[in-house]
Structure 1
C-alpha cells in the first residue's frame, strides 16, 4: 500500500491538487500516471485498503496470485501498447491463448465448432440434435423476439439447451426468453450447423479435405502478452511512479462527497474505515466510480440523480482452490456449460503465468460465479463457498475433494454494467447534464461511463481525458471510445494509430473502438403493450 502526504495548502487550508481522481483502477491510474508525467499534481483515492487495479488487480494469498476475471494484454491501439511497454518494460511474458467449453466431461472449441460438437456428443445425442434442428427449420418460431427464439430457430432446441442456455443465464442472471434476439444475432456469428454437417459428409466421402466445421474462416490470437506476476503488477508500477514523482495515492478512502466549489473547481471529501476524513481541493475531477454511486455523492445533487440511481450491475466472485495435482487442463480458462453446477468459468492460473503458482506440484484454479450482491452466493461465507467449489470440481470430474488443500474467495462488486431497457437513456441524461454543468468533471472507465468495455478501452478513455485537460479544451470526445465484440479474437496488435499522430478519431479507431460489444438487453415491450411499472 502506498500513501502520500497532502500537497501544499490553499488559502482555505485545504490540501490541493491540480486533478483529483476517484478510483485506482486501469482508467484512474492511467490518468494519474500521464498527468504526473506531465507535471500535474495528482491525488487519487481508492476504496480498497490493499490493492490497486480495480477488477484488473491481482490478489495474493499465501504466495498464490489470482487474476480477477482473466486479462489478456492485447490491444489494437498502438497508444495503449506503448503505454504498457513504458510502465512495465521488462516484465511481460508471451503466453499461449487457449479457451474451451467444458460439457459433461468433454472439451469443445471456443468459439463453438458445430461439427466437432456433434462428434463429441455421440451418435444418439447428435441424432436428437439434428432431429431438433430439422424440426426448427420445418416449424420455426414465427414471432422471433428473444435470444431463445433466435437460437432455437438457428440450431434447434437441443443444441440451444446444451451450448447456449445454461452459460448465458449464469452470466447475466436473466432467462434466455427475456433477452432480445438482437443480442443473439450479434453474438453468434458465422456458425452454420447445416454447413458443418454437409462439410463433414463431404470429408467422410473424400470430397472435401478442407474442413471448416461450419465456421467462417477467422484468424484468432494464438498468443498474448501477460505480466509475469499478474495484471496487478502493471498497476502497482503505475501507482509507484505516481507516488515517486510527487503524487498522492490514498488507499482505504471511500468517496463521501464531490462538491463543486462554485468556480469551476472541486472539493472532494473521502472517509476511512476508522471514521477519519480528508478533504481535497482540485481544479479538475476524474471519476471512475460507478455512475450510480457518483450521482448520489455529487453536490449539488444533479437533476439526473434519479436516472443514475436506476443503473444496475452484475457482481462476481472467484473461489480459488489449491489442488494437489498436475495442471488439470492447459487452457487459460474453460467455460462450464452444465446446469448441474453453478460455476460459470474456471481459470487455470498457471496457464496465465507459471510464476503465479509457487508450487509445481499444486494446481491453482479459480472458479468464477456470477451473482448479485446480497443474493445467496454473494452472502455465503468463504468456508461455504470453498466447500461449494470443491464439490462442483468433483461433480465435473475435474478434481477429487481429498486433493484440495486450501482455498480463498475474492468478491468483486459491480463487475459488469447491466444493459437493461432504460440504461442508455439514464446514462445519456446524466452525461448530458454533467457535461453542461460541470466541464471540469470527467467520467472514465467501465463503471465511470457504465460501459461494458475492456481494460485497454478503459485506459483509452483516461488517455483522451488527459489530452483534454492538458489542452484546456474538449479536443476529444471520450464517449467515442466504445467496445469491440471480438477484441480478443482477431486483428493485429497496435493496428490503430497513436494519439499524437491524429487529433481526430481515425477510421481505424472508429472500427476498432467504436463498435458495440455483444451485451444482452431485455426484450422491448411488444407493440400495443404497456411496460409494467
Structure 2
C-alpha cells in the first residue's frame, strides 16, 4: 500500500473521479473534494421521479482502450445501449442531416438554393487553393473556406453566435476540425464502420456511469466530500495546504485539480501578476437545459436538432427518447425534449426566474411547431461553467499559466475540461486524469498533450 502518499483531488466530474479511481487502484487513498452537491459535473443526470435529463448531451465514444475498459468496469453490459447517431440542422422548417450531406442539402432546401450553395462552395475552394497556406485566423474564415459563404451563413453563423455568445470572427478556429466534419459528397453513401455512426449510452443517462464511479470509490474507502469549495491553496516544503470555504485546511503531497483554471490561479497567492492577468482573460459559457415533456407524440427522428435560425432562442434541442427510453417513465407515449440555452455565466438569463424562462421555452416550442401539445413535466438545470470559450487569447493565456505551473508547482496537476480550459470530451478529460496520475507516480508523460491533434473526434472504439 502507498500509505505515505496523501493526494488531494479537487472536483468530482469525469476527470476528478477518474483520477481518484486510478489512485485507489494503485493503493493510494486520496481526499476528493467537490464544490457542488453531486458527482459527475456536467455529465450528471438530474432526476425527478422517473424523469431523467442529460445536460449537454453525452455520447460515449473514445479511441482509448483504457477509457473503454474503465467504462465497462463501472457498468455491466446490460446497462449500456448502442445508439445510432442521428442529428439535423433545422433550417426554414426543414431537417437537414448533420454532419452535412450534399445530396440531403439539395433535397431539403431545393435545387435553387443547392446551386447557389454549390457555386459559393466552389468559389471559396478555388480561392483557398490559390491562397497561402496556414491556419485560418478565426472561425468565420475557417467556416467560409470550408463550406463557402452561403452554406456557412445558412448553417453555422447563427448557430455559433448563439452557442458561443460571440461574433465568429472573434473566435479561434483551432477546435473546428475536431468538431465539424466537411460535407459528405458521396453520390451513393456506403454504410460506415459502426464506430463512426453509433455511440454507447448508459440506460439512465451519463450520470448513471459517474454515480457508479462514486460508489466504486466509496467501496475503495474514498468518500467524495460534497458542497466543499476550495478558496486557497499553497505549497511549502513539499506539502500542499488546501483551505476550504469553512476555514478548514487539509494537507497533502500533491493536488489534482479540475476546478476552472482561472479559479485555480486566483486561489494561488504566490502567482505573479502576469499569470493572474492571463487567467483573467479566460472565459466560460454557461448552459441552461430545460427538459419539457409534451403529452403528444411527435416524430422527431434525431438525437440532436441544431437551431441556427433567429426564430429560436435555444441553440440545440435534445430528443431524449432517441437517447434512451429509460430517461422517461415506462410506457409513457409523449415527446420528451431538452432545450439548451447557452448563456453568460453571470448574465441575466442564468439568474432568470422560472416565469421569464418559461416564456422563452414556450416560444421555442411554438417555433418547433408543437405549441398545441400539453406540457406534463418541466425540469430546469443551470450549469455556470459548462464550456470554455475559444477566443484569440485563450491559447496564449493557457500556455502562460501552464508553463508557470509546470515550473513552480510540479506536484500540481491541472486536468479535465475546466482544469485545462479546453473543449474536451469526457474521454479526453479522463485521459488527462489518467496521465496526471501516471506522472504522479514518476512516468514520463505530459497530460497537456491529450487532445491536441486536429483529427475529428467522433470516431472511436465501440465494444461491449
Please classify the TM superposition score into its range, dividing by the shorter chain length.
0.7 to 0.9
Q: Partner residue of 2:222?
A: 247
Quote the residue 1:393 is aligned against: 365
What is the CA distance between 1:404 and its match in structure 2? 1.6
Matched, 1:287 2:257: yes
Q: Which residue of 1 aligns with 2:451?
A: 482
Structure 1: distance between partners of 2:225 and 2:276: 27
Following the alignment from structure 1 to structure 2, what is the Cα–Cα distance between the partners of residues 30 and 186? 23
Which of these residues, 56, 60, 74, is aligned with residue 87 of structure 1? 74
Deviation at 1:300, TM superposition (A): 3.1
TM-score, length-normalised on structure 2? 0.88
Residue in 2 that maps onto 1:269:
243
Offset, 1:320: 0.8
Distance in structure 1 (CA, Å) of the matches to 2:321 and 2:13: 24
How is 1:59-98 mapped onto 2 (pairs within 5 angstroms)?
59-90=46-77, 91-98=79-86
Q: From the superposition, tell whether residues 483 and 378 of structure 1 become closer, same or farther in structure 2 (CA, over 3 Å).
A: farther
CA deviation string 1:119-155 (max 9, x = no partner): 2113454455457668878999999865445645665
3-state SS of 1:368 partner: strand
The alpha-carbon deviation at position 431 of structure 1 amounts to 1.6
Following superposition of structure 1 onto structure 2, how do residues 125-204 of structure 1 map, counting pairs within 5 Å? 125-126=113-114, 129=117, 147-149=139-141, 151-152=143-144, 157-179=149-171, 190-191=182-183
Give the distance between the partners of 2:452 and 2:51, measured in 1 at CA.
32
Match of 2:87 in 1: 99
Structure 2 residue 115 is the aligned partner of structure 1 residue 115: no
**Number of the residue aligned with 1:441:** 412
| Larger-gyration structure (1/2) | 1
Asked if 2 retains the 8 angstrom alpha-carbon contact of 1:391 and 1:401, the reply is: no
Contact 2:139 2:168 in 1 (8 A): yes
Q: Tell me the secondary structure at the aligned position of residue 67 of structure 1.
A: coil
- Alignment check: 8 A CA contact 2:317 2:338 kept: yes
Question: Paired residue for 1:366?
Answer: 338
Q: CA 1:73/1:266 → structure 2, altered by over 3 Å: closer, same or farther?
A: same
* Structure 1 spans left out of the alignment, 5+ residues: 1-7, 9-15, 200-209, 495-533
Deviation at residue 374 of structure 1 after TM alignment: 2.4
Structure 2 residues not aligned, in runs of 5+: none
What is aligned with 2:41?
A: 54
The two structures, once aligned, show a CA RMSD in angstroms of 3.1
Cα distance between partner residues in 1 of 2:140 and 2:396 = 26
Q: 1:233 aligns with which of 193, 208, 215?
A: 208
Task: Report the more deviating stretch, 175-184 or 115-124.
Answer: 175-184
Contact 2:439 2:446 in 1 (8 A): no
Indicate yes or no: 2:3 matched with 1:28. Answer: no
CA deviation string 1:320-351 (max 9, x = no partner): 11111225423221111222111111111122
1:351 aligned onto 2:322: yes
Partner Cα separation in structure 2 for residue 134 and residue 434 of structure 1: 47
Could you tell me how far apart the structure 1 residues matched to 2:99 and 2:68 are? 26
